[in-house]
Structure 1
Amino acid sequence: MEKLSWREKYAGILVLVITIIYLIMQLASLLSNTSHPYAIQNGSLVINKNEFLSDLKAYSLILAGIIAGWCLLKGKRLGWMLGLPILLFITLVIGTMTVESALKLKKFDNSFTGYGIGIFLVALASIFLLLPSARQKYRVSKGIAFLTLLLFIGLGGAYFFLQ
């Protein structure tokens, strides 16, 4: 196994940090009094379908993120296959939030600084994983790249259609 450069370590750590933040947000939502996806009524378990699908989507993304970050730091190909779609997807989500906020405000002000920094950090990690040196370390072939693209499309589809 080749020694990882700081760029690959950065991408792996960023995937883990994003996943841990997402896990904390999900746990806070689950433990709050405003969320009632599951309830017991008249002795039977009642599950809100939309909330269940949303939780399923969130927990699958969290699990994939933990596996991706760990495998990226270990130099495994699976980390590249899962980490790159997650980073690209997070970039897309932050970009969408930025555009949505800009359309609501109809002007650009200092409130977009956080969005810009977030997009920069995540896009930089994505670029680091797409560099030829990283693709060589993770032994990425055309088939693996195609599978990664399909995972990205599946992740995006699951996010937007399972709401």
Structure 2
Amino acid sequence: MPVTNPWLAGPAPTARLDPERLGERILNLLSSQNMCVLATAGPDGPLATPVRYFHLDFAVMFTAAATSPKMRNIAADPRVSVGVFAPLVGQASSRGAQLFGRARVLHEGDADFAHWWPAVRWQSDHAERGRSLDEPPSGPLVVIEADRIVYTEHWLRRDGYAPRQFWRRAPR
């Protein structure tokens, strides 16, 4: 039987991408998608929430109602995982990332808020909802700077690289 992508058959390669190339692939994924699944832990157990995100480098961010279950969970335990993935058409198109880090909740007066806020494209949401573009949202901004990322892309197998790659933030 003919195989569409014969490079998917057999054992996966184990070669690692150099950090710069891996970082570029991760940033491409983060830039080309806008939905993620945020995983938090709370008193009722794990919670996986679809969230529209924005990114700046290897950080994802989103706004949320301060009283939402995900915000209550983050307040209790800021350790989170974020899954970002491209639409799957077949095994060859499999591409996604799991980001691991701590969520920080920032408010307009906080020192770091001005650094992150310009990356949030809130204007399109306001236009869609008929809200004034002169009044940005006032809810908190959640920022998750990835400490580590597990990146999966099966297309890497074509070039002899492992489909699962591991990224770590350089020590600060």
Task: Identify the TM-score tier after normalising by the shorter chain.
Answer: under 0.3
| TM-score (structure 1 length as normaliser) | 0.24
Bigger relative contact order, structure 1 or 2 (CA pairs below 8 A, ≥6 apart): 1
Higher normalized helix content (fraction of residues): 1
Higher normalized strand content (fraction of residues): 2
